Amino acid sequence: MPETPREIETGTTTVGIVAKEGVVLAADRRATAGTMIAHKRTRKVYKLDTNLGLTTAGLVGDLQQLARYITAEVELYKLKRNTPMPVESCATLTANILAGRRYFPYWVQLVIGGVDRKGGSVYSLDLAGGSLPDKYVSTGSGSPYVYGVLEDHYRDDIQIGPATDLAIRGVYTAMKRDSATGEGIDVAVITKDAYAELSDAEVEKRKAAMKLT
């Protein structure tokens, strides 16, 4: 029998934060196989559309398959309706895909975030198809450390710049204590105007400004 979701541990750290002007998604780059570092440049933040993004934690094969599947569905929605898919619709679609594999599940934890006519929002999804919206979410083995940072620093009126710094600080903190988290930080910022990924130089600049060394 498959394990229940609460028994599953995924070795990574991802985070999604809602800000006044949009959403910030971030994740580390380390992929582990038990105690071995299997890959040092794993992609865990995916662009689904100009208004939607996804963070992934879990089995790499399942994650890549789901990312391709959801991206195709998002594109099909836009072609049929001539408008981007709303964030809640994307989360519901993904939850239904996950729920349909209850007996042979995708071994994943996902965060879907983006901006639509309602503003910015993020959803945490588990492998059984549960979908929960929140102001901030984190997944993976490093998430307890991230939540400690977010609980202390998040504010309802946070701007996109400070939210970006907060996401970096959260993942960086996890990297200091969680052995399955490391090898750098990928960050995506989504506003009503665009989906933008921060360069390594920009991430390092922000870390230096926060004295994270």
3-state secondary structure of 103: coil
The Cα–Cα gap between 156 and 191 comes to: 17
Task: Note whether 150 and 166 are within 8 A (CB).
Answer: yes
Q: Is 56 a catalytic site residue?
A: no
Q: How many CB atoms lie within 10 A of CB 39?
A: 13
Cβ atoms of 126 and 96 within 8 Å: the answer is no
User: Which residues contact residue 70 at a Cβ distance below 8 angstroms, ignoring those fewer than 6 apart?
Assistant: 48, 54, 90, 93, 94, 97
Q: Can you tell me which residue has the tokens 């999804």?
A: 125
Q: Which residue has the tokens 């040092």?
A: 40
d(CA 176, CA 169): 11
Distance from C-alpha of 61 to C-alpha of 108, rounded to nearest angstrom:
10
- From the list 4, 10, 12, 32, the catalytic residue is 12
Active site residues: 12
